[in-house]
């Protein structure tokens, strides 16, 4: 079954059960604490918090999500994309635990002829919060699950909250056993590769207070309005239903891998590192496409920097696969064609967004052309220096990293990644010091220009305010957002 059809089936199933079908919100998060929408519930937060009255008691959506936190997992696990789609069903003070478990079980185990996904009930495992006996009883009664396939987990894994005063509650996660060839027996608490998490049910039933830690925080009491928030990974379900090994091989992603195969002349499945690169390319090109379609453009900070980083990483992965020619003009249209069944606007906007993407690739090619030799020289120097001390790991100096940044436009994470490929560390502390010295110099210069000569007290004041407001240096934004 194609991904677009699995998606539609979801919406049809919940719509037939009284849920309002709500279109995906754009990827740009309405919540200022994150750059992007990271879960299906994000657009519904005001209803969950009771700040706004929901126009409907129940709703369903297939929400576009970006989680840059998962970037290092991409291509290495079977299940993490930087972009993915989260199918959700939501109840705002309407049905609760029993309803959520009943719907989930029915949809995943009903036959495909009956509108379900047709998973074999014997392959389903669930986890529940350790003292949520109610959920255990419901899973037994509704699904007939045996005790050993209901596993209990603690706060960290199976208790949801926003991290501050507000709604909170236990979760129950649904896993599919992919079979003994994929890992050890014993359920998801033992092996999350073999047992693939597909769906998270969150039962918002308590109000929590500020304070505490991730493992223990104060609960104020029951919520007046109990809510259901669920999220099912569309790509994960698609990869299981399509009988492929991972989410990068589904119909919506695989064509880009095939494009990388064609361009590089390498075979997918022949070499582990090359396979990871091809999956990274396919993932990042798609994420870039979806971000640009929602209006993000490459830049040096915030969302634009994440986009830049995704595009650059995919271009570099192509280089490591031996492709020197521009790759996006081939790969981006493949991604568009794979995604346009669900997102027809991609075709409409393609002219605009591809122009931006191709220009970004050209600019990055120039950056690489001028900086790569300098980086290689610095790496060789670091290795030579390390050879003089036994067991020392080579370290590229802060001065070299700074020069790459300042003269050749290499952002620090590019230097970090390229150095890492050569087994070389980077002296980040020294780099940061040089960066802040440069900022102070620039400020002093600006001030001196304005005042003729800098009044020392005024300068110190300004310096203090600026340092405060720059407590989070923009250069590192790409690492810290969710």
CA angle 123, 41, 55 (to 5 degrees): 120
Residues 6+ apart with CB under 8 A from 475: 411, 412, 435
Q: Which does 67 bind (CB under 5 to 8 A by kind): Mg ion, ligand ATP, none?
A: ligand ATP
With respect to ligand ATP, which residue has the nearer C-beta, 80 or 226? 80
Q: Which helix (H) or strand (E) holds 425?
A: strand 425-426
What is the chain's alpha carbon radius of gyration, rounded to the nearest angstrom?
A: 25
With respect to Mg ion, which residue has the nearer C-beta, 200 or 342? 200
Min CB(278)–Mg ion separation in Å? 22
Q: Which range of residues in 191-199, 287-295, 306-314, 416-424 is near Mg ion by CB under 5 A?
A: 191-199
Closest CA to 126 of 148, 149, 142: 149
| Residue 37 structure tokens | 């929408």
Q: Which does 153 bind (CB under 5 to 8 A by kind): Mg ion, ligand ATP, none?
A: none
CA quadruple 478, 479, 481, 482: dihedral positive or negative? positive
Q: Which range of residues in 18-26, 74-82, 132-140, 220-228 is near ligand ATP by CB under 6 A?
A: 74-82
CA distance 350 to 112: 35
Q: Which residue's structure tokens are 């999956």? A: 279
Closest CA to 480 of 315, 314, 313, 309: 309
- Lay out the site mask for ligand ATP across 183-222 (x = CB under 6 A, - = otherwise): --------------xxxx----------------------
User: Which segments of 182-327 does DSSP mark as H helices, in order?
Assistant: 234-241, 254-264, 272-293, 302-320
Min CB(198)–ligand ATP separation in Å? 5
Closest CA to 427 of 412, 438, 441, 442: 412
Among 24, 158, 200, 227, interactor with Mg ion by CB under 5 A: 200
Q: Which of helix, strand or coil describes residue 394?
A: coil
Closest CA to 2 of 392, 338, 465, 290: 338
CA distance 443 to 85: 44
With respect to ligand ATP, which residue has the nearer C-beta, 149 or 236? 236
Instruction: Rule CB under 6 A: say whether 170 interacts with ligand ATP.
Output: no
Read off the DSSP letter of residue 66.
Answer: E
With respect to Mg ion, which residue has the nearer C-beta, 151 or 200? 200
Min CB(247)–ligand ATP separation in Å? 6
Q: Which of helix, strand or coil describes residue 152?
A: strand
Q: Which does 199 bind (CB under 5 to 8 A by kind): ligand ATP, Mg ion, none?
A: ligand ATP
| Residue 138 structure tokens | 């419901």
Q: Which does 198 bind (CB under 5 to 8 A by kind): Mg ion, ligand ATP, none?
A: ligand ATP
Q: Which does 208 bind (CB under 5 to 8 A by kind): ligand ATP, Mg ion, none?
A: none
Residues 6+ apart with CB under 8 A from 347: 336, 340
CA distance 29 to 160: 20
Neighbouring C-alpha atoms within 13 Å toward the C-beta of 330: 19
Instruction: Rule CB under 6 A: say whether 231 interacts with ligand ATP.
Output: yes
According to DSSP, the β-strands at 83-92 and 219-233 are: antiparallel
Q: Which range of residues in 193-201, 316-324, 379-387, 392-400 is near Mg ion by CB under 5 A?
A: 193-201
CA distance 307 to 359: 13
With respect to Mg ion, which residue has the nearer C-beta, 5 or 197? 197
Size of the site for Mg ion (CB under 5 A): 2
Instruction: Rule CB under 5 A: say whether 151 interacts with Mg ion.
Output: no
With respect to Mg ion, which residue has the nearer C-beta, 199 or 350? 199
Q: Which does 86 bind (CB under 5 to 8 A by kind): Mg ion, ligand ATP, none?
A: ligand ATP
Q: Which of helix, strand or coil describes residue 30?
A: coil
Q: Which range of residues in 80-88, 134-142, 216-224, 259-267 is near ligand ATP by CB under 6 A?
A: 80-88
Neighbouring C-alpha atoms within 13 Å toward the C-beta of 342: 25
| Residue 271 structure tokens | 């070499």
Among 94, 177, 207, 235, interactor with ligand ATP by CB under 6 A: 235
Q: Which range of residues in 125-133, 148-156, 192-200, 209-217 is near Mg ion by CB under 5 A?
A: 192-200
With respect to Mg ion, which residue has the nearer C-beta, 67 or 312? 67
With respect to ligand ATP, which residue has the nearer C-beta, 235 or 274? 235
With CB atoms as reference, the residue minimizing the distance to Mg ion is 200
With respect to Mg ion, which residue has the nearer C-beta, 88 or 93? 88
Min CB(287)–ligand ATP separation in Å? 10
According to DSSP, the β-strands at 58-66 and 20-21 are: parallel
With respect to ligand ATP, which residue has the nearer C-beta, 127 or 264? 127
With respect to ligand ATP, which residue has the nearer C-beta, 161 or 264? 161
| Residue 83 structure tokens | 């972009």
Q: Which does 233 bind (CB under 5 to 8 A by kind): ligand ATP, Mg ion, none?
A: ligand ATP
Binding positions for ligand ATP, rule: CB under 6 A: 67, 70, 79-81, 84, 86, 197-200, 231-233, 235-236
Binding positions for Mg ion, rule: CB under 5 A: 197, 200
């Amino acid at each position: 079954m194609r991904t677009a059809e699995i998606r539609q089936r979801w919406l049809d199933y919940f719509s037939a059960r009284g849920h309002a079908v709500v279109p995906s919100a754009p990827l740009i998060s309405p919540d200022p604490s994150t750059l992007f929408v990271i879960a299906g519930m994000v657009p519904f937060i005001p209803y969950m918090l009771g700040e706004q009255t929901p126009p409907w008691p129940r709703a369903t959506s297939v929400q576009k999500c970006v989680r840059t936190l998962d970037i290092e997992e991409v291509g290495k696990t079977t299940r993490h994309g930087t972009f993915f789609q989260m199918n959700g069903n939501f109840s705002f003070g309407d049905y609760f635990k029993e309803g959520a478990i009943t719907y989930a079980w029915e949809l995943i185990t009903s036959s495909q002829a009956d509108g379900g996904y047709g998973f074999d009930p014997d392959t389903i495992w669930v986890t529940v919060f350790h003292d949520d006996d109610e959920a255990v009883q419901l899973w037994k009664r509704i699904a007939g699950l045996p005790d050993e396939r209901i596993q209990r987990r603690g706060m960290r894994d199976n208790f949801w909250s926003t991290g501050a005063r507000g709604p909170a509650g236990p979760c129950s996660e649904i896993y599919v056993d992919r079979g003994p060839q994929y890992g050890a027996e014993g359920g998801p608490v033992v092996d999350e590769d073999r047992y693939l998490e597909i769906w998270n049910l969150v039962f918002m039933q308590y109000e929590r207070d500020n304070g505490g830690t991730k493992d223990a925080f104060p609960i104020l009491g029951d919520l007046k309005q109990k809510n259901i928030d669920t999220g099912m990974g569309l790509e994960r379900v698609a990869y299981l239903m399509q009988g492929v090994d991972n989410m990068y091989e589904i119909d919506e992603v695989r064509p880009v891998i095939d494009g990388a195969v064609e361009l590089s002349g390498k075979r997918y499945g022949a070499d582990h590192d090359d396979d990871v690169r091809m999956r990274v390319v396919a993932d990042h090109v798609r994420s870039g496409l979806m971000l640009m379609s929602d209006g993000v453009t490459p830049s040096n900070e915030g969302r634009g920097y994440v986009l830049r980083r995704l595009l650059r990483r995919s271009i570099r992965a192509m280089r490591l696969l031996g492709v020197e020619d521009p790759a996006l003009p081939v790969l981006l249209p493949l991604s568009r064609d794979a995604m346009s069944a669900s997102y027809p606007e991609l075709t409409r906007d393609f002219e605009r967004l591809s122009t931006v993407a191709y220009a970004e690739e050209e600019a990055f090619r120039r950056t690489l052309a001028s900086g790569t030799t300098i980086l290689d020289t610095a790496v060789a120097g670091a290795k030579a220096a390390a050879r003089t001390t036994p067991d020392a790991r080579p370290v590229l100096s802060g001065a070299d990293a700074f020069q790459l940044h300042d003269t050749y436009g290499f952002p620090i994470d590019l230097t970090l990644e390229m150095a890492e490929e050569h087994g070389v560390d980077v002296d980040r502390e020294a780099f940061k010091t040089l960066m802040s010295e440069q900022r102070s110099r620039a400020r002093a210069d600006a001030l001196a220009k304005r005042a003729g000569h800098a009044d020392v007290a005024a300068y110190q004041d300004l310096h203090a305010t600026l340092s405060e407001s720059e407590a989070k240096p923009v250069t590192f934004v790409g690492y810290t957002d969710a």
